A and B are shown apart, each in its own frame.
Chain A
Amino acid sequence: MEKTVNQKAWFLVLPVFLIVAFSAVLPLMTVVNYSVQDTFGNNQFFWNGVGWFKELLDPHTDLGERFLASIGRNLLFSAIILAIEVPLGIVVALSMPRHGWQVAACLVILALPLLIPFNVVGTIWQIFGRPDIGLLGYVLNRIGFNYNYVSNDLDAWFTVIVMDVWHWTSLVALLCYAGLKSIPDAYYQAAQIDGASRWAVFKAIQLPKMNRVLLIAVLLRFMDSFMIYTEPFVVTGGGPGNSTTFVSIELVKIALGQFDLGKAAALSLVYNIIILIVCWVFYTVMTNAGAERPTQKEGVA
């Protein structure tokens, strides 16, 4: 698995580098540019230094309060959905049928929610949860819950979380399933001879084998839930009040709704830096996990 040093490989990477730089670096320069200026319309800009950043990180100002509150809500949301989706995904992966056409059928149905456009996911749950025309809302109200996601904060949160579990648990399940599939049968036979319990098999064989894919799953789920926009926007519009306004929704409100470019740009940069830091932590952990067990990796590839 030793890689040879070859600087000419840059030529192979160049197209990717150019195309991503075009759509990542250029816009980012604009954002940096806006973030240190103020405008009174008419394309007249004034230098504002770090003013926007100060305001953004100060909870006593209006902007700071909104920003920090939306970050708090977003972190809570990410924590809840990770706590539900990861264990549930593992359980579903372990419950996959072993042979025959059922495997293909289950895989296709599992993957189905992942391929529905985000706004249609929102629409589906918007309809499904309505007390008047949606099955979920209707049944909940019939059995005595006063459920209405438009007016009640908790109900709105419940809907958004169930929607995310519905939408993305399959991703975790499919990743874990891929990890489980790579375990050779010999491992299970050995465990059987040793008389290992079901729990011991899970802890000693299945969980370590799923480590890498679980890491990818947690990374993807955390990132995507941290920048979630469309689904809650369609269902609740960030309401009732501000109770489901996550960071992206807040950002779009400021940028495209109020056209407050300076504030929006400052928010974007801070938001991006948070994402970058989390991403770097995960990347380091992931490459280290790969480096520790190089022989095993080769065996299953």
Chain B
Amino acid sequence: MNTIPGRRIIMTVFLIFLLLPIYWLVNMSFKTNNEIVTSMHLWPYQPTIENYKRIFTDESWYSGYLNSLKYVIINTIISISVALPAAYAFSRYRFLGDKHLFFWLLSNRMAPAAVFALPFFNLYSAINLFDTPWAVALAHCIFNVPLAVWILEGFVSSVPREIDETAFLDGYSFPRFFVKILIPLIASGIGVAAFFCFMFSWVELLLARTLTSVAAKPISATMTRTVSAAGVDWGLLAAAGVLTIIPGALVIWFVRNYIARGFALGRV
């Protein structure tokens, strides 16, 4: 009753549409450049892992992945830890300017990164954080912190207030209540929020590239190196692309049961 006719066909076609470009990338990453340029095969006729080998043995390549992971993890930890108390406050209390503050946060999630690229460059150069993972992690807070507050607020609101009141009657102090009772109750929400912070920090490129030059260069910036005077090294580019998809795919697997609710920002 709650599905539509022909749903299997629609779903299959859509999933194929989603997977085909990814398959093409994977397919190319196992080919030699010669095979890519000279022929049109649906799968590699002379499969090679040379492209992956180069990435894993060349430090300038794999350090790109490590740099990206570094700022993504720092950012996720900062975002979640500052957003948790704020989400509780927004969900439970009314205070001076709460609605305006919430709107202001939301508007920062929507602010175009391009606007901030140049001022961030000046700001982080001035405080000597330029070209460190901290600069990128802090810069990504501008959209991840509001998002985390937004998601967690939805999850905290679904915890009945009676639980807070009972805990306080039982003599729990506020910090103890927070750590011992509230956090376990919204553990799945924290997981979802962390997933989203990870995701948006991982996929962002403009700020990450602007705020780093050598030491903290993210993988997305390293990938531009495949274009040289001799043309594009397609196989290597494809292999690097495939490797950036893997962390995301792993993370999805862990939160697959909460994904739908998470995308609704805890508000369904």
Contacts and interface: CB of A to CB of B under 8 A. Distances in A.
Interface of A: 3-10, 12-13, 15-17, 19-20, 22-24, 26-28, 30-31, 91-92, 94-98, 104, 106-120, 123-125, 127-128, 132-136, 138, 166, 169-171, 174-175, 177-183, 188, 191-192, 198, 201, 206, 212-213, 216, 223, 226-227, 229-230, 247-249, 251-252, 255-256, 261, 264, 268, 271-272, 275-276, 279-280, 283, 287, 300-301
A94 B6 CA distance: 11
B118 A112 contact: no
B111 A275 contact: yes
10 contacts: A13-B90, A16-B83, A27-B123, A91-B10, A97-B7, A115-B203, A115-B249, A227-B113, A248-B112, A252-B206
Given A19-B78, A26-B123, A108 B268 contact: no
Chain B interface size range? 35 or more
A8 B8 CA distance: 53
Contacts of B220: 117-120
B114 interface: yes
B199 to A, nearest CB: 5
B201 to A, nearest CB: 10
Sorted nearest first, the 3 A-B pairs with minimum C-beta distance are: A115-B248, A27-B119, A227-B112
Nearest to A113: B18
B205 A230 contact: yes
B45 interface: no
A127 B1 CA distance: 42
B129 to A, nearest CB: 12
Contacts, number: 299
Given A117-B244, A275-B112, A19 B141 contact: yes
Contacts of B241: 120, 123-124
Given A5-B94, A13-B101, A23-B120, A115 B4 contact: no
B9 to A, nearest CB: 9
Contacts of B110: 223, 227, 275, 279
B95 A117 contact: no
B167 to A, nearest CB: 16
Given A118-B205, A256-B210, A188 B257 contact: no
Contact of B203 (A116, A178, A287): A116
A97 to B, nearest CB: 7
B141 A23 contact: yes
